[in-house]
Structures are given as structure tokens and as C-alpha cells.
Amino acid sequence: MDNFSAIQSKYLMQSWAAQADYSPIPVQKTEGCWIHTTNGRRIFDLRSAHECINLGFNHPRVLQAMQAQMDKVVYVTDDFATEPTAQLAQTLARITPGSPDKRVFFSQSGAAAVEAAIKAARMYQYNRVMQGNSSTVDAPRQYPYPYKIISRYRSWHGATAGASSISGDPRRWFLEPFTCPGVVFAPEANTYRSPFGPDVDAMPAALHYLDYIIEQEGGGNKVAALILEPVVGSNGIIPPPPGYMEGVAELCRKWEILLIVDETMTGMGRTGKMFAVEHYNIEPDILVMGKALGAYCPLAATIFSEKVAQVFADNLFGHGQSFSGHALGCAAALASIKVLLEDGLLEQAAHMGDYLGSRLKTLESRHPCIGDVRGLGLFWTIEIVHDRAKKTPVRRSTEKYQETIVKDLAGYLLKEKNIYVPADKFGLWIVPPLIVTRDEIDFIVQAIDESLDLADVWVRNK
């Protein structure tokens, strides 16, 4: 079929886009960090296919594991057991922070995994209160159990109803006014652009305000859980300042609320450790995984700590999905974890991330359009600004789908340099597969350097 690109553009509904201009690039094959088109182009995927292919395309050991599993069993319901499903649940329970006596729920996307986390957090609190195990009694109980979820404005947890409702990202607005009730938003701790003002230290202010929000929302009698990305993802790749994550965990203990950590983007080695929370030595009550977990299969996981899992020993876990525990996806995930650990890719991601970060930071002195360069591991962004001194962003939250210089830079990199980056972010998205080489990083940084000349001209003419 030679015209499959035209067919796809006519019949497929593209995500988060007007459809009239949809014109997908036809792909012949993929390998490593590269996409090969039918007309002979070789394009570097600098967003790792929506952050899903940390191991790059077509990793032979993962494909081998998938093929071997396809010859056995691809899918059965969870009334039956398969070897990869059992092994992956055990592996995730053991390698995530905290006691290994956890339980794992499998789904097909990060959003679906977040839905399970929200539901389980509320069910956990319901059973805790109704069984008389609550020690927090200083607020009136107009509602019988804690149900509120606190999230942050700079966050994205997925496009399903519940996940979108707890997302501060402007994409939540497409769901309004039908977002799910019981959600409260807090500011993030952004040391570059503090939501509390330019002269306010973002970290202690964010923790102080979060403590205030929890209390004003009823404390542990009304708030079920707090959810956050350990490194803000789609809303700017914002690593937390020192002490922030530990402070959040302490607030959750203080108020007896659950801490849900969404590692959909940051898990599977993206930050130089298997999980980003390992940088901060905290143990979440619920950990969410997705994207790169299943490598080339849609697979996500919601991992419940021993404390949370115990509640469901004799109480119903009122949630489920048809393809939960899909054997083929679990086999791919197991192979991916083995590659990460056995091939030293966690250490490589940390090492290459340091190199990438140092190269990107050299661009700041040459380009006045750069406001900030930040990241962790192989998870980086360059924030473009109108005015460096004033830190004026080129794309505000209310301008997410307006055309800005970010879209122009993405177009230049794709057309002129054969580098694919998303055009709808708040800065340049620099998220290569973990197998990226030093030479490829040099190629990427050189191309970005040249593209930023366009942004400098744009800033001068404003």
C-alpha cells in the first residue's frame, strides 16, 4: 500500500489537533533512535515516541521475548495465571521503593493507571475510616470519609475523565465543566519561575502553602491523597528543588493522606534511576507507571504499597479492565527491565544526561532567547523567553495551542535537521532514548544551537 499516509490522514483522528491539516509522515522502518521514512529520510526521535521507547526502537531482546511469548499465550483473563504476568507483578513489587509485599494492577495506559490510583486511594480511606482506624478527628465529618485529591497546576496525568480532572494542564479545560468533583490544585515548586513571586523561595513557600491547603480542605478527614509527578513532565520538565519531595512526603504522613507518585514519564530509567523517587529516598503509597514500561506494547501499572494493599485483602477492589495483565505486554516489560539492569542503561542515562545537560547549558551564553535550561537524567528542556531579565514566557498556559516560536523551532528542526520534537510544549523538548550516543548528542545540540538563532531574531524583533 503506497498511499497509507493519505489514508491515515483521511480516516484517523489525530490526538490534540485540528484535523484539516493532518499530514502524517509515512514511515518505512524504525531502528535505535531513528525513524526511516518511505522517501529516504532518517529522522532522530528526540521525544522517544511520546517517552515510550526508552530502549529505542526494535530492541532485539525485547522483540525476541515478545515473539517467544506469542508462541505460548498472548492474553487470558486474570482468572488464569501466566508466567510473565506473575513475574512482572513480583518484579515491580520488589524493585519499587518500600516493602516488597505490594500488589500491582495492570492497565494499558498511564491515564488508566492513574484512574486506578485515584479509585484505590478513596477506597482505602473509606475502609480505614469505616473500620474505625482513623486517628484524625479534628475536622467535622459532614462527608463520611476522605475523598479529595490534591494535585498541582503544573501537571498532566492523562486524558481519561478522572486523570484529566486531576491534571492542572490546560488540556483539562476541554473536559470542563464536567470534570470530576473533589479535586484541589496547589502550585508546584518552581525555582526558575516561582508562582509565589520573583523574590520568594519557591521550595519552602510551596510546602507551607500545601500544608495550608490540606488543612483548609479538611485535613486527613477530607483529603484522601496527594498526587504529583516527581519531575513535572509535559508542563515544563521541572525537577523539584532539594528537600521538596521529602517535605511533601512528610506532609502526607502528618495528615494521614496517601502519596501517589506518577512515574509515567520518569519511570524506567528516564532520570538515571529506575524511578525518579529514588533520587529523593521517599516511599510513595501508590506508584504509577506507563509509557516505557511495556516497550512496544500498551502497558501500565498501579503499584500499591503493603499498607494500601492490605486493605483490599478482605475488602473489594472495585476496579478492573478487560486486558489487565496482558501476557504479551508483561513479557515485553520484563525484557525491558532486564535490559535496563543488565546493560547498565541506568548508569548510562545518568552519565549521558550529565553530558547532555552540560552541552545544553553552553548554549545559554550564546542565545538571549534562552531563559532556563533544566532537566534530570535524559529528561531536559530549554525554556524560551521574550525577555531573559523578566523571564517572560513565549507560551503561557492560556496560549498552549497558539502558534509561537516553539512551533517554528520544531518545524525547523524537523525539516532542516531531521530531528523530531513536539511543537506544543512550553519549551524545546529534549528527551532522547536512553541508548543515545555521545555523537548523537553532539549532533542534537549542534542542530538546536542553529535553530535558536531563529528564536534570537524573533526575540529581537519583538
Query: What does the pLDDT look like over 144-197, one tens digit per residue?
Result: 789 999 999 999 999 999 999 999 999 999 999 999 999 999 999 999 999 999
> Is the distance from CB of 407 to CB of 413 less than 8 angstroms?
no
140 confidence band (pLDDT: 50, 70, 90): low
pLDDT at 87 over 80: yes
Domain regions of the chain by residue span: 4-58+344-460, 67-342
Evaluate whether 154 touches 234 at the Cβ level (below 8 Å). no
Three-state DSSP class for 302? strand
Give the residue from 239, 229, 375 showing the smallest Cα distance to 290: 229
Is 67-342 the same fold as 4-58+344-460? Answer: no
Q: What is the rounded average pLDDT of the residues 339-367?
A: 97
> Taking 60 as the threshold, does the pLDDT of residue 386 lie above it?
yes
Instruction: Give residue 403's pLDDT band: very low, low, confident or very high (50, 70, 90).
Output: confident
Range 350-355 contact pairs with CB under 8 angstroms and sequence separation of 24 or more: 350/272, 350/273, 350/377, 352/378, 352/434, 352/436, 352/438, 352/441, 353/271, 353/272, 353/377, 353/378, 353/379, 353/380, 355/438, 355/441
Of the chain, the percentage scoring pLDDT greater than 70 comes to 97
Q: Which residues pair with 45 in a beta bridge?
A: 420
CA neighbor of 419 nearest in space, from 395, 386, 437, 445: 445
Q: What does 194-255 look like in DSSP terms, one character per residue?
A: -TT-TTS-HHHHHHHHHHHHHHHTTGGGTEEEEEE-SSB-TTT-BPPPTTHHHHHHHHHHHH
For residue 131, pLDDT beyond 90: no
Beta bridge partners of 262: 288
Cα 380-49-338 angle, rounded to 5 deg:
85
pLDDT for res 2: 74
For position 287, what pLDDT does the model report? Answer: 98
The pLDDT value given to residue 128: 87
Cell numbers describing residue 3? 498511499
Statement: residue 398 has pLDDT above 90: no
Q: What is the pLDDT of residue 1?
A: 67
**Assigned CATH for 4-58+344-460:** 3.90.1150.10
The share of the chain scoring above pLDDT 90, in percent, equals 86
Average pLDDT over residues 244-272: 98
Instruction: Give me the mean pLDDT over the 374-398 stretch.
Output: 91
Report d(CA 115, CA 120) in Å as an integer: 9
Q: Note whether 87 and 77 are within 8 A (CB).
A: no
- Beta-bridge partners for 42: 36
pLDDT band at 402 (very low <50, low <70, confident <90, very high): confident
Region 331-360: mean pLDDT is 98
Half-sphere exposure of 405 (CA within 13 A, CB side): 23
Name the CATH architecture for the domain at 67-342: 3-Layer(aba) Sandwich (3.40)
pLDDT confidence bin for 268, thresholds 50/70/90: very high
Predicted local confidence at residue 198, as pLDDT: 86
pTM as predicted = 0.95
